[in-house]
Amino acid sequence: MPYHIGFSQKDLGTNPPEIALLSGEPERSRHIAHTYLQNVKLLSEYRGLHSYLGYSPNQKPILIATSGMGAPSLSIVVNELIQVGIKKIIRIGTCGSIQPHVLVGSVVISQAALCRQGTANDIAPPEYPAVADPFLTVALAQAAQKLDIPYHVGITASVDSFYEGQERVQSSANPNLQSWLLGITKQYLHLNILNYEMETGTLFKMASVYGFTAGCVCGVIAQRTQSEDIIAQDKNLAVERAIKVVLESIS
Ligand code: URA
C-alpha cells in the first residue's frame, strides 16, 4: 500500500483507471467526483488527500485525486499514483494571470513551465524541460474551443511560494521581499509567461522522467497586472470551466 495516498492497486478493481484528475483542494476533488462521475467510491481521506474512483457517462474509470498545496506534496501523490498504475494525469488548478489579456474567469492550458521549484530539481536538473504532453495539450485546447470557453495556451511559471515567490507584498505578512524577487512579475510578463501557479512544472518533469502523460488546465482567479487579490466571486466560474475542459478532452 503506498503510504500517503491511502489506497492500493487492488482498491481500483478489475477495470482500473489509467487517468487521474488531480486538484490541489480536497473539496474540488469531491465536487468533481460527485458532480460529474457515476458510481463514485471514496478511496481515502488520509492527510486530506481525498481520492475517489468513479465512472464517466461512457463508463470509463477515472481516478480523482488531491495533490495538496505545492510541489513537494504533489510529487509524493504523483509518485504513488504511478505506482498504482495511473498512466495519464491532468491537473485541474487555479492560477494568477501575468498578462493583461488573460482575464479572470478564463482558463490557461500549460504547454510548458518555468520551474522555480526545489522539488522539480530533485526530479531532474534545472535545465531539464518541463513540458506537457503535446497531444493532450491540443486535445485540451480543442475541448475549450468546442465548449466556447475562453482559453489561452502557453508557458506557466510554477513557483514554490504563493506570497514571496509570486511577488505579493501588500497581502503578505512580510512586505520586504528579497531584492531578486522585486519586479519578477513584470519580467515574466515580458517573457510572455501567462500565469503563476505552484505545481505544474514538477508534474511535467515527472511525466517526462517517469514516462506518463501529463497536462494542466488552470482557472484564472487573480489578475496580477492589477492586484494581488484572489477574485473570490469569479473562482467558481473559472474552476468549473477548467473542469469542463478536462472532462470534454477525455470524453
Ligand atoms: N494560485 C497561485 O499559485 N497564484 C494565484 O495567484 C492564484 C492561484
Predicted local confidence at residue 227, as pLDDT: 97
Binding site membership of 218 for ligand 1 (Cβ less than 6 Å): no
CA distance 211 to 204: 10
Q: Compute the mean pLDDT over every residue in the chain, rounded to the nearest whole number.
A: 98
Asked if residue 102 and residue 42 are part of one domain, the reply reads no
Give me the active site residues, please: 4, 80, 168, 224
Q: What is the atom index within ligand 1 of the atom nearest the CA of 221?
A: 7
Asked if residue 13 and residue 66 are part of one domain, the reply reads yes
* Confidence tier at 63 by pLDDT (50, 70, 90): very high
Asked if residue 55 and residue 115 are part of one domain, the reply reads no
Asked if residue 226 and residue 143 are part of one domain, the reply reads yes
Quote the domain boundaries for residue 249: 93-251
pLDDT tens profile 112-151? 999 999 999 999 999 999 999 999 999 999 999 999 999 9
Asked if residue 163 and residue 62 are part of one domain, the reply reads no
- Where b means 16+ CB within 10 Å and e means fewer, 199-221 reads bbbbbbbbbbeeebbbbbbbbbb
Asked if residue 78 and residue 122 are part of one domain, the reply reads no
Binding site membership of 166 for ligand 1 (Cβ less than 6 Å): yes
pLDDT tens profile 87-119? 999 999 999 999 999 999 999 999 999 999 999
Q: Among 46, 69, 86, where does a domain finish?
A: 86
Predicted local confidence at residue 93, as pLDDT: 98
Asked if residue 114 and residue 67 are part of one domain, the reply reads no
Asked if residue 78 and residue 28 are part of one domain, the reply reads yes
Asked if residue 158 and residue 115 are part of one domain, the reply reads yes
Reported pTM = 0.98
* Confidence tier at 244 by pLDDT (50, 70, 90): very high
- What is residue 136's three-state secondary structure? helix
Predicted local confidence at residue 7, as pLDDT: 97
Q: What is the atom index within ligand 1 of the atom nearest the CA of 222?
A: 6
DSSP string for residues in 3-70: TTT---GGGG-SS--SEEEEESSHHHHHHHHHHH-EEEEEEE-GGG--EEEEE-TT--EEEEEE--SS
Phi, psi torsion values for 85, nearest 5 degrees: 105, 5
Q: Among 86, 112, 136, where does a domain finish?
A: 86
* Confidence tier at 235 by pLDDT (50, 70, 90): very high
Binding site membership of 198 for ligand 1 (Cβ less than 6 Å): yes
* Confidence tier at 168 by pLDDT (50, 70, 90): very high
Asked if residue 217 and residue 113 are part of one domain, the reply reads yes
Instruction: Identify the CATH number of the domain in which residue 14 sits.
Output: 3.40.50.1580
Q: Among 46, 62, 86, where does a domain finish?
A: 86
Asked if residue 199 and residue 162 are part of one domain, the reply reads yes
Number of domains, the chain: 2
Asked if residue 81 and residue 160 are part of one domain, the reply reads no
